[in-house]
Amino acid sequence: MSTIQYDMLYLLSCGVNKTKPQQNILEQYKSDDRKRMLLYRFSKHHFVEALTSTVLKQAGVPLPDPWEKDMAKAVRKVILFDAERARILSFMEQRGIWYLPLKGIILKEFYPSVGMRQMSDNDILFDEAFAEQVREYMVSLGYEVISFGEGNHDVYEKEPVYNFELHRALYGAAHDNNWEQYYRDVKERLIREEGSSYGYHMKPEDFYIYIMCHGYKHYQGGGTGIRTLLDFYVYLESLHSEMDFAYIEKECETLGLSEFEKRNRALCRKVFGDNAFAELLAEERVPDTAAHTTKEIITKALSQEELDMLQYYMTSGVYGTFDRRIENNVKKYSKTAVRQSFVM
């Protein structure tokens, strides 16, 4: 990992913890156009450029025009999605279709300001008995049906930015059988939204388990980027004191997520915690090169196993990579073949 990537982690920490970056860090990006563009590219690769740009702009660092535009687009996209989603959910209320907003729709509310948590789509679980009615409605709104009845979700897209994944189930036949069974009757564990007849939400522990499960699905597939780890941190930081971790650990054990959850809970706090970079902010510490200092602090705080996990996140990008998917599939099938050979 480059020193600029470590700086990006530091700026993400500043953004979600609402702290001002250390001046030595900022000066590099005020004066060095090449470093500024590299930081932009790394941020964009992980779909966190709106967050890093917000931190830099608030601190007086000039942004390249593409970065400024991306920040404005992120805010606009959230506003457009919120309005469009409200219209779709209103239709579901009118037709008596129960629904559950998922993933980024919920997570974005835990970030400090609008647009900080970027999204490419909106995910909603709904009563699959009404899939045909929902499709007719989406088409009436001008949506193109990208997929319908394939897998566990239907996909609808419309210009300029809309992409809705409407889930018939949280997991299907293509996923881990244990997960599919666990979430088959998920509605029984949902809580009705106050003021709504058909809208639901998960209790905090169950939502945390769900995003951990979703994160693991991508982690062991094509990989997943640093935004996933940041989501874990932001959610934990907001609700940690309210959550029952004995319940979380029990359910994660059932889902085969126990080790993954524990490692990520520790890692996200070490990387993004509001005191993770306390040493950098100490007045008596004036490093020769601030970029080296962010790297120095993170590498000193993490074990080798944690550094390897962080490296995996940082080299995956927001949606993972094809090569990593192939590599992970080979590992998975090799393990399966060994087990089958042993049984025979």
pLDDT band for position 292 (50/70/90)?
low
Structure tokens at 34: 């090449």
- Name the pairing type of β-strands 162-167 and 122-126: parallel
pTM of the model: 0.90
Collect all residues with Cβ–Cβ distance below 8 Å to 4 and sequence separation of at least 6: 35, 38, 39, 42, 291
Side chain identity at 161, as an amino acid letter? V
Does 340 have pLDDT greater than 50?
no
CB neighbourhood size of 140 (10 A): 9
Please state the length of the chain. Answer: 344
Instruction: State the Cα–Cα distance between residues 111 and 178, nearest whole angstrom.
Output: 32
CATH class (in words) of the domain with range 73-202: alpha beta
**What distance in Å separates the CA atoms of residue 82 and residue 77, rounded to the nearest whole number?**
8
pLDDT at 67: 97
Q: How do residues 198-256 score in pLDDT, each as one tens digit?
A: 999 999 999 999 999 999 999 998 899 999 999 999 999 999 999 999 999 999 999 99
CA distance 263 to 280: 25
pLDDT tens track for 67-96: 999 999 999 999 999 999 999 999 999 999
Res. 134 pLDDT band, cuts 50 70 90:
very high
Structure tokens at 54: 């917000």
Residue 284: pLDDT band with limits 50, 70, 90: very low
